[in-house]
Structure 1
């Protein structure tokens, strides 16, 4: 057999194209005679438009159209959804204003500069209504949504009995603020209409097929009439996981003008038009006996949503599964505010949820006088305690051990304020990381060509994680070809259908389909050779034939060898093709499938200024088969950097009087920069999982952020003796 490519730290297939500027992102697509669109947004949080005056804008040079509620095309599918992931669209179908910075018009001109100029000439007057964006004021009106994509509540055992049995309790409230994704590439769409109500869309998206389906529903056309193309995505992190309004706006403007239209959101509009991470208020109650065995876990979450739509932040889901405990209850509730609808943000639910749970576990460890790792080991769940299923694989003990060894945890002195480095207080903290391992239906097609090389295709999308690369590795191994003999294509709804790139599921879902397509075309090659009297393998049973280095051979006699190219040539010189529609692996349903990890943080705190620096970080993870050591480490490091932002920096601030976001760009919305990020050491624990999916991978895009907020907050407590339960941990909270 050929040497395996899977697992190696292979450079990205698309790296040279990206660093030389030859990778074409959607907004850079060359389209003849394209017009440019600019979105005009509201300046109040709630009310109605009373006057909309576009006369001066329409007279401005180069302006082709000003679209508003007065002239926008009516959309037959505006109130319909294709999936629970769809968000309510704001598409000029009425004069209502539902949040500050809501789209109220689109100006289209022959150049971007002229469209921007004309957008400033639109005059709008409103009749405002009372609004609120203060979650604290609305907490008494929290409610349980009628529907949700997951079970909102869970109850195992008896919560009150568990609390009564506890010798030690921790009952605290933890909060996380609104946060924004801020991918490097802004959202963008180019829409082109063709004869017969057919459309081509170039879109920055994590789900080309979701965009296709939602678009077709909105405009009342068959989805076969819609082609969505997205070959490269400059980061998404969840905000590009849903088909947002701006895509339809570009298409509506293209209808009005009869030209292809490009619409690129400004950085400021990215804070209002494409979702955010919900503000959460989380109450956690833990109880334990004198030996540190948990008697109760209660985790109640309230998150904020918009008035027009519902998005529930699933922050207590990991709490149902992470620790062995007889009495566990969780709940999720919402409050409505005059804000845009939140959406998925990297590790939705688990990122803010593990901050609350793992901070509370640290508080419990101190109350019991136990090492934080020892407390977790005493409550280790050897099976999924929620569903009573065995784990498909679980190496969390190894993560604790390996991570602690790498970090030097045994040198920690337990007492707060007991470690120093000159004027800096030093703190060490840790937390558990976890994320579900998903697999979804996906299709792929593999073609062996006349020269023996292969073309493998699946719709999918590469959101910066290295999908082009790992799919090439998987396909090359399935086909026993060298990497340079395999081309992998994605990013087009004309290719086989795949799911959204979200939930850390692309490697597992698309990768499994790619592997099965490669094996299927190999089988076709073997069938052709075995049936062909001209082949050295003629007459052999399929199980007597193997492959290596682009050729089939007889297992009993490797000299009987038939190259792929020769088999194709004898078959008429046409490609040999196999398409696979892969489904969730049947064995999965008998198991609980999760990735796990352990996060270790060292912080240094200037007690006079309240400044917190993360000075060291170690993350140890078990995530099944690591498909590419280099891209996996990059994803895990990136998640940890996001966690540093969650813990110390990120906070979207909204003016309570106007409902307008004040931190609307990267000057005011703080994300970690190089000076904030220490050396991050990644430990990956070898883990073989035969049940999770056909490639054995659990996904690493999101687990890296989980637990990081708590590890840093726990380290800050160890350094200072002050427990910060409200993120981010800013200097004012320590002074």
Structure 2
């Protein structure tokens, strides 16, 4: 029997994507489509005094201009604007009133017969404001930060242990605001059926989340709103929450009783959420032999004035390394910006950057190899949560295999000691860690007598390969060829799924498919017992399997009946099952994925130009469903890590509270010339505790630790320690 799980399988949706057959949110066309364009605020805080749309309305082809004073009714309670992943606070209500909360906030919506006309007319809408003093600089608000609940229980007395340590390190590490820049901009196409029912084609990581959100805001019956998102051109956390364009598109469709499309420009994408800036202070105390006795990790991060978004940035420190004494503090400060949000590897990417940079500095102070220090501080237990063992942790093997492939043993420990012509060569390493999360989910399977199965779930595929791994798991579980499996997802009318994020969907939906497949198998067994002289007359469901289009005995492979014959005898042409799957936590194990990163940089000695020439990423993440798409996930994370280390930074003119580099030309991300040799190793790791299939997610772990490995390599190359990202050539020349 062919086994698809664990084999390198090309994306089943790949042909549709490369030929243009895959439709994204802004590509669904209907007759009479109206085009919308957002007018954005030019101040960061205050209120609207007057909006003059008369000049815009005189443009031929303009249908209307919606404002907070001229629009259909919307809900007026905070609760109505709460989505599934909303933080505490008062959610932003687009076009609700005249208050300005951030620069770039939508203040009007121009509706026209053509997009070009709407854009032109938007430039003719004049808005008068009453400005108020604003603050967008986290360093100005540092003293105003307030303490959040303790992210994890401290242990021992970190202050005393640090003071008594033989070797001490203190450092402050800085991460700027970073913005998601997925290829597909946020867009919504809302089709009006003439009777008030809406189909919303939206760029989102959760169609059912958006559906509930729209119904709540507009007091609509769930049966009257369908949200569809079959393909997503990247999101990385920016699509977890419904963005304001979907509200505005629905608002316009209801106002005009016509179909409407709204696509945000790249510049307008910067008025959405972002990875929050972070100021972190780490103190490490150790013995001369490299035993870690004290960890203190403090962080200040940022949110908006109206919502309290944060993640536990500091607890990764006490999780990764063994220390009897650990203390964490997390503070939040408010800025006149949109609410920050999840961005790939939220909290771990930033928190581990600071920790792994500090560990490298401690290794230097101890005159120890950075890898050796990590091995001496290795922890087999989660000290943050009851000192429990991990369900699986093969990080030691990640270190070994990664170091061997990289050639780490050839590293000269002294900074500035390795050269390649006029370039200084540096080798650095770091550890990565992420949670192995899983969430309740429901899957429906329809199996037909001709051996075809349709697998349906409302989950999203944000480009990670969910279509493909769902098909692989279903093919194995149902004993069918891969080509006989069709996948339906990204539709709010399908069985329940949470938003896709946190690297939890692969594990959740795959195990969900197995649950429903087992129900299909049990139904086939029930029918097979009706077959005259059935070989399964006394068989239990655990004693049979589905393989090669047949119901087969696990005890004797010669005892088998084809699925077609079973269904013929049972007089059914289709078997349908819909089952929910949840994941119990025994509280006795921690569930995490781990990685080891090794990076080589070359730095021009005179110009300080930095090149990342090699990276090896060794990952232990349980059972790998598809090595091909998994490799792409991790490699993409490494590329993003290069961007975080060397390129990405949202620059704000604090006088105006406006982002200055809200475009791909000036918000730098890695391009082909920045990406060289990347090798990915999947370290074997069996985990029979985390879930029946032993799966851990891969979306986030590929990024965590990469920036620190590169920063540590730059120190090794130059002898210059830069603690604020991105590391640019001017910082090396100071």
The alignment partner of 1:10 has SS state of coil
Question: Quick one: distance in 2 between partners of 1:546 and 1:389?
Answer: 36
**Shift in Å, 1:196:** 6.7
Change (3 A) 1:152 1:218: farther
**Shift in Å, 1:678:** 1.1
- Kept in 2: contact 1:537–1:553 (CA 8 A): no
Q: Deviations over 1:42-85 (max 9, x none)?
A: 01111111120011112221222211111123322551124343
1:156 matched to which residue of 2?
155
Are 1:136 and 2:134 counterparts?
Answer: no
Are 1:733 and 2:734 counterparts?
Answer: no
1:552 matched to which residue of 2?
551
**Shift in Å, 1:211:** 0.9
1:301 matched to which residue of 2?
299
2:18 matched to which residue of 1?
19
Question: Quick one: distance in 2 between partners of 1:402 and 1:109?
Answer: 59
Deviates more, 1:518-527 or 1:669-678: 518-527
- Kept in 1: contact 2:170–2:282 (CA 8 A): yes
Q: Write the mapping of 1:327-366 to structure 2, written as runs, cut at 5 A.
A: 327-366=325-364
Question: Quick one: distance in 1 between partners of 2:554 and 2:351?
Answer: 53
The alignment partner of 2:393 has SS state of coil
1:658 matched to which residue of 2?
656
Q: Write the mapping of 1:711-730 to structure 2, written as runs, cut at 5 A.
A: 711-730=709-728
- Kept in 2: contact 1:159–1:296 (CA 8 A): yes
1:60 matched to which residue of 2?
59
Change (3 A) 1:399 1:48: same
Unmatched tracts of structure 2, length 5 or more: none
**Shift in Å, 1:313:** 4.1
- Kept in 2: contact 1:76–1:220 (CA 8 A): yes
Question: Quick one: distance in 1 between partners of 2:152 and 2:73?
Answer: 39
Question: Quick one: distance in 1 between partners of 2:329 and 2:569?
Answer: 64
Q: Deviations over 1:173-199 (max 9, x none)?
A: 000001111000000111234577543
The alignment partner of 2:154 has SS state of strand
Question: Quick one: distance in 2 between partners of 1:143 and 1:200?
Answer: 43
**Shift in Å, 1:406:** 0.4
**Shift in Å, 1:538:** 4.1
Are 1:647 and 2:645 counterparts?
Answer: yes
- Kept in 2: contact 1:208–1:461 (CA 8 A): yes
The alignment partner of 1:321 has SS state of helix
Change (3 A) 1:459 1:433: same
1:236 matched to which residue of 2?
235
Deviates more, 1:627-636 or 1:520-529: 520-529
- Kept in 1: contact 2:194–2:257 (CA 8 A): no
2:497 matched to which residue of 1?
498
1:677 matched to which residue of 2?
675
Q: Deviations over 1:607-652 (max 9, x none)?
A: 2111110011100010000000000000000001100000000011
Deviates more, 1:564-573 or 1:236-245: 564-573
The alignment partner of 1:156 has SS state of coil
Are 1:372 and 2:370 counterparts?
Answer: yes
Aligned residues: 728
**Shift in Å, 1:573:** 3.4
1:83 matched to which residue of 2?
84
**Shift in Å, 1:691:** 1.2
Q: Write the mapping of 1:431-510 to structure 2, written as runs, cut at 5 A.
A: 431-510=430-509
2:608 matched to which residue of 1?
610
**Shift in Å, 1:165:** 2.5
The alignment partner of 1:481 has SS state of coil
Question: Quick one: distance in 1 between partners of 2:477 and 2:261?
Answer: 40
- Kept in 2: contact 1:465–1:635 (CA 8 A): yes
Are 1:514 and 2:513 counterparts?
Answer: yes
**Shift in Å, 1:543:** 4.0
Question: Quick one: distance in 2 between partners of 1:595 and 1:559?
Answer: 41
- Kept in 2: contact 1:65–1:256 (CA 8 A): no
Question: Quick one: distance in 2 between partners of 1:618 and 1:224?
Answer: 50
- Kept in 1: contact 2:202–2:229 (CA 8 A): yes
Q: Write the mapping of 1:222-261 to structure 2, written as runs, cut at 5 A.
A: 222-261=221-260
Pick the aligned partner of 1:102 from 105, 125, 132.
Answer: 105
The alignment partner of 2:612 has SS state of strand
1:580 matched to which residue of 2?
579
- Kept in 1: contact 2:455–2:488 (CA 8 A): yes
Question: Quick one: distance in 2 between partners of 1:21 and 1:440?
Answer: 33
**Shift in Å, 1:570:** 2.6
**Shift in Å, 1:216:** 1.7
Pick the aligned partner of 2:315 from 317, 332, 335.
Answer: 317
Q: Deviations over 1:124-153 (max 9, x none)?
A: 11111111111111101011357xxxx535
Unmatched tracts of structure 1, length 5 or more: none
Change (3 A) 1:115 1:466: same
Question: Quick one: distance in 2 between partners of 1:555 and 1:427?
Answer: 55
Change (3 A) 1:97 1:145: farther
1:183 matched to which residue of 2?
182
The alignment partner of 2:603 has SS state of strand
**Shift in Å, 1:676:** 0.4
Deviates more, 1:725-734 or 1:685-694: 685-694
- Kept in 1: contact 2:621–2:695 (CA 8 A): yes
Question: Quick one: distance in 1 between partners of 2:345 and 2:122?
Answer: 37
- Kept in 2: contact 1:454–1:487 (CA 8 A): yes
The alignment partner of 1:233 has SS state of coil
Q: Deviations over 1:230-289 (max 9, x none)?
A: 0000000111111112111110111111101111100000111x2111010001111111
Question: Quick one: distance in 1 between partners of 2:382 and 2:335?
Answer: 36
Question: Quick one: distance in 2 between partners of 1:728 and 1:114?
Answer: 40
**Shift in Å, 1:155:** 1.2
Question: Quick one: distance in 2 between partners of 1:563 and 1:395?
Answer: 41
**Shift in Å, 1:329:** 1.1
Question: Quick one: distance in 1 between partners of 2:76 and 2:203?
Answer: 22
The alignment partner of 2:566 has SS state of helix
TM, length-normalised to structure 2: 0.97
Change (3 A) 1:16 1:83: closer
Question: Quick one: distance in 1 between partners of 2:437 and 2:402?
Answer: 25
Are 1:568 and 2:571 counterparts?
Answer: no
Change (3 A) 1:447 1:350: same
RMSD: 1.6
The alignment partner of 1:363 has SS state of helix
Question: Quick one: distance in 2 between partners of 1:448 and 1:93?
Answer: 48
- Kept in 1: contact 2:402–2:616 (CA 8 A): yes
